[in-house]
Amino acid sequence: MRLITAVIKPFKLDDVKAALEQSGIKGMTVSEASGYGRQRGHTEVYRGAEYQVDLVPKVRVEVLAEEDDAEDVIDVIVKAAQTGKIGDGKVWSVPVDTVIRVRTGERGPEAL
């Protein structure tokens, strides 16, 4: 199993969610995040005054998937989140040793 994590622009969340549902993903975790990449934030103007936004608001999406499905899930997320502009985000995956469904005690792929 793999944990796929995506940090994306907030306005792309609905597109990513719909694409994952359409591809058969049954669950995900979403949380607010903030950070910066190579661009190190950006400058905005408010009432004529310029100020630096160091931490850009983002959304973190986490999906557990079976090993065979992980690359497909990553592709779905990337296609749905992509705008082609700086700051689109990142997607990565890491191996997961154990998953347990709390309610039933099921382990492994059955817990997904």
Which of 10-14, 51-55, 60-64, 105-109 is the least confident region?
A: 51-55
Q: List phi, psi (to 5°) of 49.
A: -100, 135
Say if CB 1 and CB 112 are below 8 A apart: yes
**What's the pTM?**
0.85
Q: Provide, rounded to the nearest whole percent, the portion of the chain with pLDDT above 70.
A: 92
What are the structure tokens assigned to 92, written together?
């990565």
The Cα 80–Cα 95 span in angstroms is 23
Ranges 31-45, 47-61, 62-76, most confident: 62-76
pLDDT given at position 41: 63
| pLDDT over threshold 80, residue 105 | yes
Average pLDDT value for residue range 63-78: 96
